[in-house]
Each structure stands twice: as C-alpha cells, then as structure tokens.
Chains A and B, each alone.
Chain A
Amino acid sequence: MKEIVNNSEALCEFLKKMIIETLKLEGVTIEGIDSNVPLFRKGLGLDSIDALELVVAIEKIFNVIIEDEEVGKKAFASINALAKFIQKKYKQGK
C-alpha cells in the first residue's frame, strides 16, 4: 500500500476504483472521474451517506481515520484532495 500512496497518479487511480466499487456506482468509469472535480453534489454527485461508506473504506484500506466532518469535507473535496490527505497522514505516521 505504501508504494501506491507514494505515487500520486497510482493513488488517484486506486481511489477512483475504490469509490466506484465501494459505492457500486453504475455507469461510472475510472477514466470518467476528473481528479479535480468535487466528489459531492454537483461534481460526482455523492452525498453525506456515501461519505460514511468512504470513511469506513479508507480506514479499512489505508488505516487512516477521518475523525470528524470538517476533516472529511476537506479530504473529500476531490480525488486530488483525498490523495493529498492520505499522503499527509502517511507522512505523519497516520
């Protein structure tokens, strides 16, 4: 996992796949998700309940805890923001 986390491009791709699989998004492909577009509402169209599932998935896969809603809002701003958040947590030793 550390190798993927250290490679931003690979991490973004991994996160897109994780989101599609976790939320069982139909008709959405990895290529179809822009890394800079907001994940919620107007962007990918996710909502706060989807966020709960993603919080659990991220904790399970990366062992990174999103401790509150404010942190979550920033982390889920976009795929890029989420990748940076996970990388930062890894640097801090989670």
Chain B
Amino acid sequence: MNLDQIDIRDAFFDQLYLKGSIDNNVIVLSADMDAFSLRRFAKDFPEQYINVGVSEQNMINIASGLALSGKMVFCYSIASFATLRCFEQIKVNICSMNLPVTIIGAGAGFSFGYDGPTHHGHQDLSSMRLLPEMSIIELSSNDLAQKFVNFAFENNGPLYVRLDKGPFPEWKEYNIDFSKGYRILKTLEQINLISNGFMARTTLEVAKRLTSNGINCGVIDLFRVKPLPDKLYEEIICKSKKIITIEESCKTGGLGTCLSEIIAQSENNCQLQVIGTPDRQFIEYGDRGWFHKKYGLDEIGIFNTIINNI
C-alpha cells in the first residue's frame, strides 16, 4: 500500500516499527490508546511496548525512568490528556532533565469532536509551548509523519507531536527539509497564509479560492512550531505585507501567538490576522466538520473571514 492511502497514524507507527525492529531501546508507552499499526509493534516487540492503562501521570513518570536508563521513549495518548493531565511530570521530569521522550498527542482540535471538551485538543500546543526545552511538531502529510520519526531520534530530547487520524496523502511535490522547520506549499506573495497539520490542506484550498477571486497569496506549512525556524523571519515575515495564520487550536497561545511574538519585534509593517478557535471550552457535540463550519474553520468560513478583513 502506498503512502497516499494509509492512515497517518499507520504511516507514523510503521516507521516507528522499523526503528523498533533494529533498536530494542525504542519503547512505546500507551495510556490505553490504540492504533492499527501500533498493535503490530505491540505483538512483535512485547518487551518494547507497555500499555500503562489510564494513568497519564504515571506514563510520563515511567517514561522518565526508562529514558534515564538509556531508552528512547514514545508516549501515546489523547492530545489533551497527554499534555495537560501530566503537565507537571512533563515539565519537571522530561523537560528539566532534557530526556529523549516524544509525546504523541492524538485528537488535535475537534477531531474527537463528539466526545466533548475533555477530548478536544485546543490547549495542547499552547501548553507545550510554555516549556522551554520542548520541541513541537505538527504533521500535515504521511511523508512528513515518516520523516518525523527519524527526526525524533536525531532530536534526542523532549518532543511533542500532534498526530491526526485518517489519510493525509503524501505531498511529493513539496520537498521536505525537516531541519528547516517549514515548507512552502504555494509561492510566496505579499499576503501569505501560515498553517500546519490538518489545517494545512484546508489552507491550500482557501488559497486557491482567494486566488480565483483575485487575491494572490502564498501558503506555508510551518510544521515546527517550537523552536520556530531561524529563517522564518528573514525568509517569510520580511517578505510579507500580511500574514494570516490558520490553526485548529485556541487562538490564545497557539500558532498565531507564535507569529505575533516575532512580528511584534520586527521593523517591517507586516500585518497579522489570526484564525483559530475562540478562547473557550466547547460543551457541545458534533463531528469535526460540523465544528469547523460552526466556528468558521472550514474553507468557506476561513475564506470569508479573510475577505472581510482585506
């Protein structure tokens, strides 16, 4: 099966499987979370897979002990629980001791929309951003997911990654230089849209619609949110009159906030528009598409928000 057809979780865990098969120091911890290809890892490498049950704090503590003993650890849970539920353990153990632990958060934004605000992932990214030693990656395509696994080994430190679900076809036409931290999906213009993860695809569609309405804009997949890429300022912000960030995260502390921190210090007059979820918890139930439509995060909603602010 080629990379276009498989679920991004499988693209990710299949690559991790390859790593695990040649290095028995690779350990995967799951807090009662499942994924099709993770089952293969668990079955074939039972010594390298531990389901800690519903105990995220313990998962991070165990991961810390394993990492202190030379293991390369991957922790898997729902984004909201994998970050906020065990924030203290991540901060004190993994970050302050710079341990090689990768936290994999499933369920970005509204992807577990029907399970209520406890399962929505709107603050995972912003909370992880608070941790100085943490690196943060958002995955927008299956090939990026594969390359990410290699990056985790090179990085060898605290890492948070948002892992979505469903097929995220490979973007062969966009060469990934992982170390760069971003890739240009549509040639830069005076107005540039910056997004990542699930929203990168929607953003590309929005850009096409804007172009056909006479508004040219570039699109950037900023997959490394922390540390922000060194060249981002020089190569993107300095060349833009307006930046529009599009994210499936709370606008407080997310991708838009990251950009605002750089733009505020810049000398050019680059404008910033931040599109994301409102600063609230959503005690309502629906699928991802329903939420996106309701809160203006679908293609039309984003398009209208941009047009109204031009």
Chain A bound to chain B: no
Which chain B residues have a beta carbon within 8 Å of chain A's beta carbons?
A: none
Give chain A's interface residues, CB within 8 Å of chain B. Answer: none
